[in-house]
Chain A
Amino acid sequence: MELQFTAEENAFRNEARDFFRSALPDAIRNRVQRGQHLAKEDIVAWQRILNKKGWATPMWPVELGGTGWDAVRYFIYKEEMTRANAPEPLGMNVHMVGPVIINFGTDEQKQFFLPKVQNLDIWFCQGFSEPGSGSDLASLKTSAVRDGDHYVINGQKIWTSGAHRADWMFGLFRTDPNAKKQRGISYILLDMKSAGVTVRPIITMDHGHTVNEVFFDNVRVPVKNLIGEENKGWSYAKFLLGNERVGIARVGFSAGRIAYAKAIAARTVVDGRPLAEHPRFREKMALIEVELKALEITNMMVVAGMKKSGPTQDPRTSVLKLKGTEIQQALCEILLEIAGPAALAHEHAFLEGSDELITAPEWNATAAPNYFRVRAATIYGGTSEVQRNVVAKGVLGL
């Protein structure tokens, strides 16, 4: 065990810091820092800058565009990227569908999709949840019925993040209605431009448009878009969950929020002196920092383990999801508390990326909507309660 960064690792940190500082467009940096929503073009532009540098998909196999970094370098990369207020590469592409295609896709699928997934020429969304299948995902009903060289898909997905921006969907569909729950599900990629696909926005409490309903009315999908074997889709989706949770800790992002919150608190006067000087505020903040530090080290250990033995059922991945989302929520609460009355005005245009403000200071204007929005963090990707069920059963054997 060697718990210090080596000279090479520190040199790499400097390289990463310099790159993110110089390569990230100011407009994107500002939006991320202020908590504004990014336009699709922002995210695409940034991922292409990363890809040009060879850093869009660092943890993919080297021959498919990975960097060959070990877990420590990957951590330094993520830490410096978020510290620079850069958005992360699109998770659905990089962490979700990419690794599934790499591990279970055909050569043809790899050749066609992976470069486009990497360069964000194709934007993927995830079609998992359905109106009747939330925590009990395996009860999903949207069907894919074989018809010659095609599947015909009928049904509905819901809570589909970014479906309105997506070019393709990776989804779970029922291919065998008679098999037991998990056994009759297939993992299929489908073009969102296919005839019969309808996307309807769902507006959330922050008045933002992130999630959607997606309807399928006799959508024909070529069988060659099936990943792996028919009816084995559940196991591929499960393989993903570990990947999703490593990203879901969002340590660097939370660290950036803490730095920002402290800066805002330094210019927010309460009882005649900066809020940042009030011991109660400082202790509240320090406590979150302690929790985040613990999460950061857990995250490093999980990734170090995965790098050696591949995705595992490491119990700590559930810890990452549980604690990571709690911390994100705590930080949004603190940002709202700092803003106080400055959070009241509905600064919708600003939230959507405009520089125009009605009244609020730019650093307070997104506090309320981001607080509303982050309540979803303990609901998506497996609710905190489902995470606890999974750990109780799978790890503790209860």
Chain B
Amino acid sequence: MDFDLSEEQRMLKESVDRLLEDRYSFEQRKTYTRAADGWSRELWKQYADLGLLGVPFSQDHGGFGGGPVETMILMEAFGKALVLEPYFATVILFGGAVKIAGSEAQKADLLPKVAEGKLLGAFAHSERDSRYDLADVKTTAKKDGTGWVLDGEKTVVIHGDCADKLVVSARVSGGQRDKDGLALFLVDAKAPGVTRKGYPTQDSLRAADITLKGVKVAASDVLGEPGKAYAAIEKIAQSAIQALSAEAVGGMQEMLDITVEYLKTRQQFGVPIGSFQALQHRAVDMLVATEQARSMAMFAAMMVDEKDAEERAKAISACKVHIGKSGRYVGQQSIQLHGGIGMTLEYKVGHYFIRSTMIEILFGDTDHHLAALARAGGLIPAGTTA
């Protein structure tokens, strides 16, 4: 075990930090939100040129051969800059689904395209009633000759509006909430029977509701074994949480830095408000929460590839619980310590608060994961009284 970045990791961090420093000021970001997609195609190409879009993929698939640590480095930087581009949807979710559930041929076909920036993807899984239950899928897949026909409705598919290809979950058998009977399909976003309604989300990103009506899928576009996809879906969600945790930490650090800077410059009663102990202690508690969150993002990176499925699930839930709680704390305090200016969209701290609130909701909120962790017996096994 070693907490220092390797030479390659350091270079990765430096290159992404440098790019975002040049291209992602708060003002520049505003102009990207006004583009047709709500993000910058030109920057997407730069991410591709720098190799960022292939970071988690193996070198055979045109990637960087990175693991959870490399993802952590990137996502933390993206969190700091409030990046708008669909990295999470395309690389982490869509690429992750192909990597986790796909055949060698599917990976060899799709992952290089993602890495080159030529293919945008999305993970069309959640539905109106599913909330945080990963097994809750009503969309159906019916056998049709050698292929399948999909019918159903997916909601709040992150960056589903701009995606070229979707990974769609559907039920081949069983009841609405059964873990058995799920399957994953690759669906062209423009395939007949697919309709998309794109819209902005609270955090200036984009999402889509996607309706599937008699959508035909070839047998070669099934990811993994039909009916047995739950484990893969869970793994995709866990990778997503690992990535989101790092993004959240980047955001928390930024909220802390912005707030501390404000405390030093804002004058009231003839002194900087940072000279008041009540505010100092609040800022310190923000720092404590941020550092602890960073440790949990590190823990998620340690555990996301753990072979023992139960230990892995508990660790990821533990991480999401902490990120949810600490993100909420740091966010709320950063607004409070700013006072009125913190409430406005003109000022940047509120944008971090919004994103941090959305991260808490994505892939299971604090209560959901705390209940899951508690049901599973927690992180530490019971001892004996003897």
Residues in A neighbouring B292, C-beta threshold 8 A = 291, 294-295, 298, 319, 323
Which residues from 384 to 398 on chain A have a C-beta closer than 8 Å to any C-beta of chain B? 385, 387-389, 391-392, 395-398
In addition to A286-B370, A290-B373, A398-B263, 9 A-B residue pairs with Cβ atoms within 8 Å of each other are: A72-B2, A259-B382, A263-B384, A267-B385, A290-B370, A292-B380, A293-B299, A301-B298, A397-B260
For B6, give the chain A residue with the smallest CB separation: A1
A-B residue pairs in contact (CB < 8 Å), sample of 8: A1-B4, A3-B301, A255-B380, A262-B380, A292-B379, A294-B293, A298-B295, A398-B263
Which residues from 294 to 312 on chain A have a C-beta closer than 8 Å to any C-beta of chain B? 294-298, 300-301, 304-305, 308
Which residues from 1 to 41 on chain B have a C-beta closer than 8 Å to any C-beta of chain A? 1-6, 9
A301 x B284 contact (CB < 8 A): no
Which residues from 241 to 259 on chain A have a C-beta closer than 8 Å to any C-beta of chain B? 255-256, 258-259
Q: How far is the CB of A38 from chain B (nearest CB, A)?
A: 19
B3 x A304 contact (CB < 8 A): yes
Whether A256 touches B383, Cβ cut-off 8 Å, given contacts A1-B69, A3-B298, A262-B378, is: yes
Asked if B288 is at the interface of the complex by the 8 Å CB criterion, the answer is: yes
A282 x B274 contact (CB < 8 A): no
For B383, give the chain A residue with the smallest CB separation: A259
B277 x A389 contact (CB < 8 A): yes
Q: How far is the CB of A295 from chain B (nearest CB, A)?
A: 7
Whether A293 touches B318, Cβ cut-off 8 Å, given contacts A286-B374, A388-B281, A392-B280, is: yes
In the complex, per-residue mask of A344-363: 1 if CB is within 8 Å of any chain B CB, else 0 = 00000000000000000011
Within 8 Å by CB of A293, from B4, B284, B379, lies B379
A290 to B279, CA, bound (A): 27
Asked if A209 is at the interface of the complex by the 8 Å CB criterion, the answer is: no
B69 x A3 contact (CB < 8 A): yes
A319 x B378 contact (CB < 8 A): no
Asked if B344 is at the interface of the complex by the 8 Å CB criterion, the answer is: no
Asked if B302 is at the interface of the complex by the 8 Å CB criterion, the answer is: yes
A10 to B279, CA, bound (A): 45
Asked if B164 is at the interface of the complex by the 8 Å CB criterion, the answer is: no
A339 to B285, CA, bound (A): 32
A322 x B288 contact (CB < 8 A): yes
B287 x A396 contact (CB < 8 A): yes
Asked if A178 is at the interface of the complex by the 8 Å CB criterion, the answer is: no
Q: How far is the CB of B13 from chain A (nearest CB, A)?
A: 11
Among B69, B284, B371, B381, find the residue whose CB has the most chain A CB atoms closer than 10 A: B284
A283 to B293, CA, bound (A): 19
Residues in A neighbouring B280, C-beta threshold 8 A = 388-389, 392, 396, 398
Residues in B neighbouring A17, C-beta threshold 8 A = none
A4 x B378 contact (CB < 8 A): no
Asked if A260 is at the interface of the complex by the 8 Å CB criterion, the answer is: yes
Asked if B222 is at the interface of the complex by the 8 Å CB criterion, the answer is: no
A397 x B382 contact (CB < 8 A): no
Q: How many residues of B contact A (CB 8 A)?
A: 50
**A interface majority secondary structure:** helix
For B4, give the chain A residue with the smallest CB separation: A1
Asked if B275 is at the interface of the complex by the 8 Å CB criterion, the answer is: yes
Across chains A and B, which 8 residue pairs bring their CB atoms closest together, nearest first? A259-B383, A262-B382, A297-B295, A282-B374, A392-B280, A294-B292, A3-B302, A398-B274
Whether A301 touches B295, Cβ cut-off 8 Å, given contacts A1-B3, A286-B374, is: yes
Residues in A neighbouring B6, C-beta threshold 8 A = 1
Whether A396 touches B283, Cβ cut-off 8 Å, given contacts A262-B383, A293-B379, is: yes
A322 to B12, CA, bound (A): 34
A264 x B385 contact (CB < 8 A): yes
Among B5, B260, B378, B380, find the residue whose CB has the most chain A CB atoms closer than 10 A: B380
Residues in A neighbouring B277, C-beta threshold 8 A = 389, 392
A291 to B69, CA, bound (A): 22
For B301, give the chain A residue with the smallest CB separation: A3
A267 to B274, CA, bound (A): 51
A256 to B384, CA, bound (A): 10
A-B pairs with CB below 8 Å: how many? 164
B3 x A259 contact (CB < 8 A): no
* A positions within 8 Å CB-CB of B: 1-6, 9, 33, 72, 255-256, 258-260, 262-267, 276, 279, 282-283, 285-287, 289-298, 300-301, 304-305, 308, 315-316, 318-319, 322-323, 362-363, 385, 387-389, 391-392, 395-398
A198 to B24, CA, bound (A): 67
Within 8 Å by CB of B284, from A9, A263, A305, A391, lies A391
Asked if B171 is at the interface of the complex by the 8 Å CB criterion, the answer is: no
Residues in B neighbouring A388, C-beta threshold 8 A = 280-281, 284-285
Residues in A neighbouring B279, C-beta threshold 8 A = 398
Residues in A neighbouring B377, C-beta threshold 8 A = 282
A297 x B296 contact (CB < 8 A): yes
Asked if B79 is at the interface of the complex by the 8 Å CB criterion, the answer is: no
A387 to B284, CA, bound (A): 9
Q: How far is the CB of A87 from chain B (nearest CB, A)?
A: 17
Among A258, A267, A289, find the residue whose CB has the most chain B CB atoms closer than 10 A: A289
Among B68, B294, B378, find the residue whose CB has the most chain A CB atoms closer than 10 A: B378
A283 x B371 contact (CB < 8 A): yes
A72 to B302, CA, bound (A): 14
Asked if B291 is at the interface of the complex by the 8 Å CB criterion, the answer is: yes
Whether A319 touches B291, Cβ cut-off 8 Å, given contacts A297-B296, A301-B3, is: yes
A276 to B302, CA, bound (A): 29
Residues in A neighbouring B293, C-beta threshold 8 A = 294
Residues in B neighbouring A5, C-beta threshold 8 A = 1
A318 to B291, CA, bound (A): 11
Q: How far is the CB of A142 from chain B (nearest CB, A)?
A: 29
Among A33, A266, A294, A300, find the residue whose CB has the most chain B CB atoms closer than 10 A: A294
For B9, give the chain A residue with the smallest CB separation: A1
B385 x A294 contact (CB < 8 A): no
Asked if B264 is at the interface of the complex by the 8 Å CB criterion, the answer is: yes
Residues in B neighbouring A282, C-beta threshold 8 A = 374-375, 377-378
A323 x B374 contact (CB < 8 A): no
Asked if B210 is at the interface of the complex by the 8 Å CB criterion, the answer is: no
Asked if B321 is at the interface of the complex by the 8 Å CB criterion, the answer is: yes
Whether A398 touches B381, Cβ cut-off 8 Å, given contacts A9-B1, A282-B374, A392-B283, is: no
Asked if B61 is at the interface of the complex by the 8 Å CB criterion, the answer is: no
Among B6, B68, B385, find the residue whose CB has the most chain A CB atoms closer than 10 A: B385
Q: How far is the CB of A208 from chain B (nearest CB, A)?
A: 22
A262 to B385, CA, bound (A): 9
Residues in B neighbouring A289, C-beta threshold 8 A = 318, 373, 378-380
Q: How far is the CB of A378 from chain B (nearest CB, A)?
A: 13
A387 to B318, CA, bound (A): 27
Asked if B322 is at the interface of the complex by the 8 Å CB criterion, the answer is: yes
Q: How far is the CB of B314 from chain A (nearest CB, A)?
A: 9
Residues in B neighbouring A33, C-beta threshold 8 A = 383
Residues in A neighbouring B4, C-beta threshold 8 A = 1, 304, 308
Residues in A neighbouring B373, C-beta threshold 8 A = 286, 289-290
In the complex, per-residue mask of B201-227: 1 if CB is within 8 Å of any chain A CB, else 0 = 000000000000000000000000000
Q: How far is the CB of A286 from chain B (nearest CB, A)?
A: 4
